[in-house]
Amino acid sequence: MGVRRQESLFSSDESADVPLAERMRPRSLDEILGAESVLGPATFLGRMLRGGTVRSLILWGPPGSGKTTIARLLAARSDAELESLSAVLDGIKELREVVARAEARKAREGRATILFVDEIHRFNKAQQDAFLPHVESGTLCLIGATTENPSFEVIAPLLSRCRVVVLEALETAALEMLVDRALTDTERGLGALALSLDADARRFIAGSAHGDARVALSALEAAADLAKDTRTISLAIAEQGVQRKALLYDKGGDEHYNVISAFIKSMRGSDPDAALYWLARMLEAGEDALFIARRMVIFASEDVGLADPHALSVAIAVKDAVHFVGLPEARINLAHGVAYLASAPKSNASYAAIGEATAEVKRTGALPVPVHLRNAPTALMRDLGYGRGYVYPHGKDEEAKRQVYLPDALVGRRFLERK
């Protein structure tokens, strides 16, 4: 069944069995940290949270940026029933049940229904299509949450009926404030434990969370358990609490493409230090080394090209080395190649030329091959003049220079920019 009104939206059980991240979930707009740009009084979302009419929207942001909290606060602020679906657990059957309850509720009580769909990007096209008539009719006000770019993951008809609100990962300063709040809150946090937190430990916990509030609070809770005897959370204890730095880098998601884009653009901009940094980011996050090597092979021709023809040989050698050696040692080969490509002179002339030539082919179609260039393997073809007048260039440089190789309609057309 759906969750009704604010008193049911947030758990009243503040026992130790409930994770700290859930206990500290904001219960009011004032408790939300680090989202001023989208929650201010003059913003679309801010107006709705302050009592305006709730409209269908897609909340797009990384894990721990407040998507679920905002959806719950919106429902609590309106006289509407909140229903929830998870794309991981639910499907068309569950949606139909929600719609039936929403229709009955509207007829019986005149109350609207807000449907919160977590990870809406995981629903396929047919499933997303099923939302459309109910959003259009006003039976449901849809609030979708996604970590993926909705331009790619949400169907266009549904996207056109929703406002997209982009939530950013929390800044380290906001996470530090959240950690302090949780440490001192005696009702929902760890205040009863009377623990102290070293400044270095605070910075480490906040920095290691990579903008995710849940990760920061989970790390703090683990560190607090380890510090019950000493009553102080030191950097060493915080490191044990974090255990492992999980970099924000979903290999199938938007951040994957952001990082690889930064990597390519750093090499293109001849900044080997930045390129090596993004390489390290990808490797630490578990990216496929051969994927990186393939991008380097493409880059060697696309961006270095004729300015240093040896770059392609280096990139191919790196690819072979990665395949032969494997990680972790292959990171050395990748670094070698990245440093070379980033430092090499740049030319995109051949890349631009194939683009120009392709555009010409699409514009003019399959123009006839000049007769003198045609293949003449049979007597009939030779009788038709195929190959007649062709000048074999070797030893006949001057005659060959006057020879035309393009179709008649394109004589004089140049695709490669010559410097």
- The pLDDT tens digits for 271-302 are 999 999 999 988 887 788 888 999 999 999 99
Query: Does CATH place domain 3-166 in 3.40.50.300?
Result: yes
In whole angstroms, how far apart are CA 300 and each of 228, 256, 292, 313? 56, 21, 12, 9
pLDDT category, 357, cuts 50, 70, 90?
very high
Q: Give 333-383 as a 3 state SS string.
A: HHHHHHHHHHHCCCCCHHHHHHHHHHHHHHHHCCCCCCHHHCCCCCHHHHH
What predicted TM-score, i.e. pTM, was given to this entire model? Answer: 0.61
In the chain, where the domains are located: 3-166, 172-242, 254-343, 361-410
Higher pLDDT, 251 or 5: 251
Residue 43 has pLDDT above 80, yes or no: yes
User: What is the per-residue pLDDT for 253?
Assistant: 58
Listed range (107-116, 153-162, 284-293) with the worst mean pLDDT: 284-293
CATH code, residues 172-242: 1.10.8.60
Residue 1 has pLDDT above 50, yes or no: no
- The pLDDT tens digits for 365-401 are 888 888 888 888 888 888 888 888 888 888 777 777 7
Q: What is the mean pLDDT of residues 254-281?
A: 90
- The pLDDT tens digits for 12-22 are 445 557 899 99
Give the DSSP letter string of 89-154. T--HHHHHHHHHHHHHHHHHH--EEEEEEETGGGS-HHHHHTTHHHHHTTS-EEEEEESS-HHHHS
Residues 6+ apart with CB under 8 A from 309: none
pLDDT category, 53, cuts 50, 70, 90?
confident
User: What is the per-residue pLDDT for 251?
Assistant: 54
Higher pLDDT, 246 or 217: 217
User: What is the per-residue pLDDT for 7?
Assistant: 36
pLDDT category, 245, cuts 50, 70, 90?
very low
- The pLDDT tens digits for 191-209 are 999 999 999 999 989 988 8
Q: What is the mean pLDDT of residues 99-116?
A: 91
Average predicted confidence (pLDDT) for the chain: 86
Domain 254-343 belongs to what architecture?
Answer: Up-down Bundle (1.20)
